[in-house]
C-alpha cells in the first residue's frame, strides 16, 4: 500500500468534479461554482453523463473518459454511488478524492459497513480521501476551492490554517472577520481515511503557515497528532485547539477511583500540555490567540503582563477576569510605582492593572507611563485596553492618541505591546487598527477573549521532554497482575514507590507474630482479586493494639473472605498502622485513547467528596509531580495548616514520579495501578502507600463503588 499523497489532494493541478450539476442547490453545482470563482488555476473537468456541457465547459460522462489522470476527484454523488466512483478513480490511478456525501459512519450499521468499504478501497489504491460527510476544503494560497459552501469567502490569504471536524465551524471561521489571513480551511468529516493529524502534518509543512487553529470533537489518532504537533514545534509554529466535551461523559465502569478522576477532558488536557498545544476555551478566544501568535510567534521573555486602561472600573474588571484566566498580573515593583506616582492621581497608589487616566488625559504623560512600565525588568508585556469601537465615537480621540503612543514608544527586544478592545460587540476601529498594524502591534477584540489569548501566549513555552525511561518496566508491570498482594507491595517498594510492609498471615498465630514483629497498633485486611474494595465487605480492621484484637480480627476477616470471595488468591494480610499525615491518591492508568496517564490528588475519603485530581501523560519527573500537586488543594494542606505540617512534599513527588515510570507495561496487562491512600507524613518522615489496587486490563464490568 502506498502512502496517501496530501499534496495532490490539497494542492492539486487538476480536479475532476463527479456529479457536476446545473441544479442550483446541488452539491455538484456549488463545488463547480466555487472552483470557477477562484478561479482554480489548474485544469477542471466536470463529470456527469446527463450533460454535454456546463457553464460553457465540456462535461465528461465518466472519469475514464477524461483526457488525463487528474490529481484529485471531488465525488459529489450519494453514498452508494460514491463508492463505485471511488473504486473507478482508484483503478484509474487518481491519487486523491473528496467525498461530501452523508450515509457512512454517521448513518448506523449500514453506514458503518459502507465506510468500511470506503476505507478498503482507499487502502487498496493508496488514495488520500477527505471526508465523507464534510464540506471539502479551501486553499486560499493556491486558489483551490473544492468546497460545498453556498457563499465562498474571499479573505486575503495569510499565515493561519483552520482544520475543523465541524463544517459549520469551518463556515464561521472562513469569513475571517478579524482579518487574520487564512491559508487553508479544511473540514475533516468522518475521517474515514485522513484525519486531523494528517492535515496538521501537511499544513505545518507549508512555509506559508505559522499558526494552526483546530476545532476538535474527538482525537482519533493520538500518536499521529503528537507527531504532527512535534513537527509544528520543530518548525516554530503554534497549534491552537478548541476541544468540545469538557464535561466528562465518563469512561467504562472501572474499579479504580483514578478512572473517574482521570476523566476524558483531564486526560485530553494532559495530552495537549505534553505536546505544546494551546487549548482555547471557545472560538473567540482561539481567534484572538491566533491573532496574537501571528503577530508575535515568540512571547515576551517574562510572562508577567501589565494591562493599562483609561478607566478604574475597567481595570477592576480586567483584574477579575485575569485572575480567573490565570494571567500573571503581579504587583508593580516599588521603584516602578514610585516613578509612576507623579504622573497619576495622588489619591491612588499605582497598581496592576493600571488606570492611567490619573490627572486627566495627557498624551505626553501617557507616553511616559508606557516607557516606565517597559523599563521594569519584571514586566514582559504592556497590554493597552481601550474602548475602540468601529463607530469612531466615544473615546475615539483619546484612544487614537493612545494607539499612536503605543506605536511610537521604544520597546525593548524582549518585551511586547498588545492592544485590545474592552468589548467585542462594537467591532474594531479601523483608524486605530491601521495605526497599530503599521507598528506591528496586534489589536485584539473583546476583553475576556483577549485576556485568555494573553494568558496562553505570555505563558507559552516549549514543553519539557518527558523523562528518560529505564529498562524492564514492561515485564515488571505485567508481572504485578499475577502477584499476591504482599508481593505487589514489596515490588513497588523496590521500584521506588514507598509502600508499607505487608505480611500474608497463614493463621491466627502467624498474624499475631507478624503484628508483634511490626509493633502495635496494626491493621488486618482481607485481600482478593474479586474484591477490589475492601471496606464495604468488612475486610478491614484498624488500630489493633494487642494480640487478642489481632486474633479476633483475623477470624472475622477470614470469615468475610469466605462469604464474599471465590478467588484463589484470597488472603488475610497484616501491616503496620500508619497514623496521621495527608492522604493522597496516586494512580497510573491506561487511557484507551492516549495511553498511560498518572493521576494525583487528595485521597482517602476525600477522593469521592472532592472529585479533584491532576493528570499528566506518564512518565513525569519529580518537578512535574510537584506541579501536579500544586494544581490541587493537596498543595495547601501539604504546606501545613492549623499547626499540622509542613508535610514531606518532596518524597510524595518522588513517589508519584516513580509510579509514573512504570508506564511502559500498562498497555500489555493492566488498566490501573492505584495507591489510595499514599500517606504523606511530616517533613523528614517520608510517605508510605497503605492500600493498593491492581486492575487487570480487561475485567467484567464492575460498578464504581466506594472503598
Distance separating alpha carbons of residues 141 and 144, to the nearest angstrom: 8
pLDDT interval class at 473 (50, 70, 90): low
3-state SS class at 114: helix
pLDDT for the residue 164: 97
Within-domain flag for 167: yes
Handedness of CA 216, 221, 222, 228 (dihedral sign): negative
Number of compact structural domains in the chain = 4
Within-domain flag for 84: yes
pLDDT interval class at 569 (50, 70, 90): confident
Distance separating alpha carbons of residues 212 and 184, to the nearest angstrom: 9
CATH number at residue 113: 3.40.50.720
Q: Quick check: 472 pLDDT over 70? A: no
314 and 419 in a single domain? The answer is yes
pLDDT interval class at 470 (50, 70, 90): very low
**Residue-number span of the structural domain to which 220 is assigned:** 153-297
169 and 65 in a single domain? The answer is no
- Rounded mean pLDDT of 316-345? 95
Within-domain flag for 607: no
Query: Do 133 and 170 form a contact (C-beta atoms < 8 A)?
Result: no
306 and 453 in a single domain? The answer is yes
Distance separating alpha carbons of residues 700 and 123, to the nearest angstrom: 35
176 and 272 in a single domain? The answer is yes
Can you give the three-state secondary structure of 682-700, one letter per residue? ECCCCEEECCEEEEECCCC
381 and 443 in a single domain? The answer is yes
437 and 304 in a single domain? The answer is yes
511 and 570 in a single domain? The answer is yes
pLDDT in tens, 279-303: 999 999 999 999 999 999 999 999 9
- Rounded mean pLDDT of 578-590? 91
pLDDT for the residue 609: 63
The last residue of one of the domains, among 407, 432, 458, is: 458
pLDDT for the residue 664: 78
CATH number at residue 357: 3.40.50.261
CA atoms within 13 A on the CB side of 98: 35
Q: Quick check: 220 pLDDT over 70? A: yes
The last residue of one of the domains, among 427, 458, 489, is: 458
Q: Quick check: 666 pLDDT over 80? A: no
N-term to C-term CA, the chain: 51
64 and 164 in a single domain? The answer is no
309 and 449 in a single domain? The answer is yes
Within-domain flag for 273: yes
pLDDT interval class at 698 (50, 70, 90): low
Query: Do 415 and 300 form a contact (C-beta atoms < 8 A)?
Result: yes
Within-domain flag for 587: no
pTM of the entire structure? 0.89
The last residue of one of the domains, among 546, 576, 606, is: 576
Distance separating alpha carbons of residues 280 and 457, to the nearest angstrom: 11
- Rounded mean pLDDT of 310-329? 95
Distance separating alpha carbons of residues 550 and 547, to the nearest angstrom: 5
Q: Quick check: 556 pLDDT over 50? A: yes
- Rounded mean pLDDT of 92-105? 96
pLDDT interval class at 550 (50, 70, 90): very high
Amino acid at each position: 500500500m502506498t502512502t496517501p499523497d496530501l499534496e495532490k489532494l490539497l494542492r492539486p493541478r487538476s480536479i475532476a468534479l463527479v456529479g457536476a450539476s446545473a441544479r442550483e442547490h446541488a452539491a455538484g453545482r456549488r463545488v463547480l461554482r466555487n472552483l470557477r470563482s477562484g478561479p482554480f488555476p489548474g485544469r477542471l473537468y466536470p463529470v456527469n453523463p446527463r450533460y454535454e456541457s456546463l457553464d460553457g465547459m465540456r462535461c465528461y460522462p465518466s472519469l475514464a473518459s477524461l483526457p488525463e489522470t487528474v490529481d484529485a476527484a471531488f465525488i459529489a454523488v450519494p453514498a452508494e454511488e460514491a463508492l463505485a466512483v471511488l473504486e473507478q478513480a482508484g483503478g484509474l490511478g487518481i491519487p486523491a478524492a473528496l467525498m461530501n456525501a452523508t450515509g457512512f459512519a454517521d448513518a448506523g450499521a449500514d453506514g458503518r459497513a459502507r465506510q468500511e468499504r470506503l476505507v478498503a478501497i482507499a487502502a487498496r489504491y493508496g488514495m488520500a480521501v477527505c471526508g465523507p460527510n464534510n464540506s471539502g476544503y479551501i486553499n486560499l494560497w493556491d486558489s483551490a476551492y473544492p468546497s460545498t459552501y453556498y457563499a465562498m469567502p474571499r479573505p486575503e490569504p495569510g499565515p493561519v490554517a483552520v482544520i475543523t471536524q465541524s463544517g459549520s465551524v469551518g463556515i464561521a471561521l472562513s469569513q475571517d472577520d478579524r482579518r487574520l489571513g487564512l491559508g487553508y480551511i479544511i473540514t475533516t468529516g468522518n475521517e474515514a481515511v485522513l484525519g486531523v493529524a494528517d492535515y496538521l502534518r501537511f499544513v505545518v509543512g507549508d512555509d506559508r503557515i505559522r499558526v494552526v487553529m483546530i476545532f476538535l470533537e474527538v482525537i482519533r489518532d493520538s500518536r499521529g497528532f503528537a507527531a504532527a504537533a512535534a513537527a509544528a514545534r520543530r518548525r516554530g509554529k503554534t497549534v491552537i485547539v478548541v476541544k468540545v466535551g469538557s464535561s466528562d461523559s465518563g469512561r467504562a465502569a472501572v474499579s479504580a477511583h483514578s478512572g473517574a478522576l482521570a476523566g476524558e477532558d483531564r486526560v485530553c488536557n494532559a495530552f495537549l500540555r505534553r505536546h505544546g498545544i494551546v487549548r482555547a476555551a471557545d472560538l473567540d478566544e482561539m481567534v484572538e490567540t491566533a491573532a496574537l501568535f501571528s503577530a508575535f510567534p515568540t512571547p515576551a521573555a517574562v510572562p508577567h503582563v501589565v494591562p493599562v486602561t483609561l478607566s478604574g472600573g475597567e481595570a477592576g474588571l480586567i483584574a477579575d477576569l485575569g485572575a480567573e484566566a490565570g494571567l500573571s498580573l503581579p504587583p508593580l515593583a516599588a521603584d516602578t510605582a514610585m516613578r509612576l506616582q507623579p504622573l497619576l492621581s495622588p489619591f491612588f497608589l499605582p497598581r496592576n492593572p493600571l488606570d492611567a487616566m490619573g490627572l486627566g488625559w495627557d498624551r505626553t504623560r501617557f507616553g511616559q507611563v508606557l516607557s516606565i512600565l517597559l523599563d521594569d525588568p519584571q514586566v514582559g508585556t504592556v497590554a493597552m485596553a481601550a474602548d475602540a469601537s468601529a463607530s469612531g465615537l466615544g473615546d475615539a480621540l483619546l484612544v487614537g492618541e493612545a494607539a499612536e503612543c503605543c506605536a511610537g514608544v521604544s520597546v525593548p527586544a524582549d518585551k511586547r505591546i498588545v492592544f485590545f478592545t474592552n468589548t467585542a460587540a462594537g467591532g474594531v476601529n479601523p483608524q486605530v487598527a491601521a495605526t497599530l498594524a503599521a507598528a506591528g502591534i496586534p489589536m485584539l477584540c473583546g476583553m475576556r477573549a483577549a485576556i485568555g489569548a494573553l494568558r496562553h501566549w505570555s505563558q507559552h513555552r516549549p514543553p519539557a521532554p518527558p523523562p528518560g525511561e529505564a529498562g524492564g518496566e514492561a515485564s515488571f508491570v505485567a508481572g504485578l497482575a499475577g502477584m499476591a498482594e504482599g508481593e505487589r507491595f514489596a515490588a513497588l517498594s523496590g521500584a521506588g514507590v514507598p509502600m508499607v510492609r505487608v505480611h500474608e498471615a497463614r493463621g491466627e498465630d502467624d498474624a499475631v507474630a507478624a503484628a508483634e514483629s511490626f509493633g502495635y497498633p496494626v491493621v488486618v485486611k482481607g485481600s482478593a482479586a474479586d474484591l477490589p474494595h475492601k471496606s464495604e465487605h468488612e475486610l478491614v480492621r484498624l488500630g489493633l493494639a494487642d494480640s487478642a484484637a489481632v486474633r479476633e480480627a483475623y477470624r472475622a476477616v477470614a470469615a468475610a473472605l469466605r462469604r464474599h470471595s471465590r478467588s484463589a488468591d484470597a488472603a488475610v494480610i497484616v501491616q503496620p498502622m500508619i497514623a496521621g499525615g495527608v492522604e493522597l491518591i496516586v494512580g497510573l492508568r491506561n487511557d484507551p485513547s492516549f495511553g498511560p496517564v498518572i493521576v494525583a490528588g487528595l485521597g482517602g475519603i476525600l477522593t469521592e467528596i472532592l472529585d479533584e485530581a491532576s493528570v499528566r501523560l506518564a512518565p513525569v519527573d519529580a518537578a512535574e509531580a510537584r506541579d501536579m500537586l500544586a494544581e490541587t488543594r493537596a498543595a495547601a494542606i501539604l504546606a501545613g495548616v492549623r499547626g499540622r505540617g509542613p508535610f514531606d512534599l518532596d518524597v510524595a513527588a518522588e513517589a508519584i514520579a516513580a509510579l509514573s515510570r512504570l508506564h511502559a507495561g500498562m498497555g500489555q496487562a493492566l488498566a490501573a495501578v492505584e495507591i489510595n491512600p499514599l500517606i504523606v507524613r511530616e517533613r523528614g518522615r517520608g510517605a508510605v502507600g497503605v492500600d493498593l489496587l491492581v486492575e487487570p486490563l480487561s475485567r467484567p464490568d464492575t460498578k464504581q463503588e466506594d472503598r
